[in-house]
Structure 1
Amino acid sequence: MSTDPHAGRLLGFGQRVGGIAQMAYVVEDMEAAIDWWVRDLRTGPWFLLDSFIGPDHVYRGAPSRADVRIAMAFAGHMQIELIQPKDDCPSVYREMIERRGYGFHHVGIAVDDVEAETAAYVARGYTLAFTAGVPTGGHVAYLDGGPQHPHFVELIPATPGMDAAFTAFRRASIGWDGADPIRPFA
């Protein structure tokens, strides 16, 4: 249950604050993964961020230098995120690959107050696994629910920048004809 006083507010891309806005997968080969989503699931276009690394990334309490490629697209109102590790540095992504291989990684929940939501999840037995500043504003938090939960929960700050970017990505998916399947994350 969300502690967010604005839970339920509709975001521009059609999901609500406090609800699942994203499903994410760790992939071995970004281009092959995008090709599968485009060819077999008709999902796109994909917005690619070739490098996601920063000085404020913290994995399991220590600074993290892990670098990943990220691609985002929409299937209806649900954002799909693909994540490809670019190195062998310890990370929530490498952790999942080592735990059970490539595939489903996390659900992302849009929230107005990442810190308050993180505290609520920790109070329910989750462990904070990763935090990082994001290009759309604020910091994300990844929470590990332990062995009974086979994936992470990501708390995504529902900032104006996040809403604008995700809404633009969704708008590009409406009526998409398959042209220009990989675009820059702007």
Structure 2
Amino acid sequence: MGAIDQIGHVTADLDAAVAMWTSHLGVGPWTVYRNVRLTGDYRGLPADVTIDVALGYRGTVQIELIQPTSDAPSPYRDDDGTLREGVHHLAWVVEDFDTAVALLGAHGLAPVFKAGNSASQVAYFEPAPGVVWELIAGEGMRAMMDAGMAAAAGWDGRDPVTEIDLAA
């Protein structure tokens, strides 16, 4: 799959997580997307999940902070609905989503969560207990990441957060 593109973390408080990553680790600037909706299936059942997401960069790795904003069953919650806080997944951006999903399928892995929206498609795999891999595809996804890395490389510490509300 190549180099890891993203490390995802689940949090109960996105704003506090962004502040911690900014102040303690110098990660920034961040783009925060509110009201992200992912529609697809989770463990074979229909899934309609809403999350708030913050994206920042450390070198060539995208840091994704995720705060679920719905109680829907999803890979962000345990079976009893408890939030799966902490490091959540490793992800790769792929150009050909279906081929990448099929490649993992050929190695005996099936997606436990496959969903998308108008901007992207995602598939989550659990190759072992406690391990989640994600494939991400979308028009311009690699260019968006390159722009984020460039912004992080030249960031002077001012204006650490840009917010985009997808419900607006």
Q: TM-score band (shorter)?
A: 0.7 to 0.9
Q: Secondary structure at the residue paired with 1:66? A: strand
**More strand by proportion, 1 or 2?**
2
Asked if residue 120 in structure 1 is aligned to residue 103 in structure 2, the reply is: yes
In the alignment, residue 162 of structure 1 is paired with which amino acid? Answer: M
Structure 2 partner of 1:74: 57
**1:57 counterpart (35, 40, 45):** 40
> Do 1:19 and 1:110's aligned partners in 2 also have CA atoms closer than 8 Å?
no
> Do 2:73 and 2:81's aligned partners in 1 also have CA atoms closer than 8 Å?
no
In the alignment, residue 41 of structure 1 is paired with which amino acid? Answer: L
Normalised TM-score (structure 2): 0.87
The sequence identity of aligned pairs, in percent, is 36
Distance 1:110 1:118, change over 3 A: same
> Do 1:133 and 1:140's aligned partners in 2 also have CA atoms closer than 8 Å?
yes
RMSD: 2.3
Tell me, in whole angstroms, the C-alpha distance in 2 between the residues paired with 1:117 and 1:22. Answer: 16
In the alignment, residue 168 of structure 1 is paired with which amino acid? Answer: A
Structure 1 partner of 2:68: 85
Tell me, in whole angstroms, the C-alpha distance in 2 between the residues paired with 1:146 and 1:98. Answer: 20
Alignment of 1:17-166 (within 5 A): 18-54=2-38, 56-95=39-78, 101-137=84-120, 139-147=121-129, 150-157=130-137, 159-166=138-145
Tell me, in whole angstroms, the C-alpha distance in 1 between the residues paired with 2:52 and 2:155. Answer: 23
Tell me, in whole angstroms, the C-alpha distance in 2 between the residues paired with 1:170 and 1:96. Answer: 35
Q: Deviations over 1:17-46 (max 9, x none)?
A: x43111110011001100110000000011
Task: Name stretches of at least 5 consecutive residues in structure 2 with no aligned partner.
Answer: none
Q: Deviations over 1:70-121 (max 9, x none)?
A: 1101101111000001121100111399689411111111222221221221
Normalised TM-score (structure 1): 0.79
Tell me, in whole angstroms, the C-alpha distance in 2 between the residues paired with 1:163 and 1:134. Answer: 17
> Do 2:8 and 2:64's aligned partners in 1 also have CA atoms closer than 8 Å?
yes
Structure 2 partner of 1:7: none
- Greater mean alpha carbon deviation, residues 39-48 or residues 159-168: 159-168
Structure 2 partner of 1:168: 147
Shift of 1:169: 1.5
Task: Name stretches of at least 5 consecutive residues in structure 1 with no aligned partner.
Answer: 3-17
Structure 1 partner of 2:160: 181
- Greater mean alpha carbon deviation, residues 93-102 or residues 35-44: 93-102
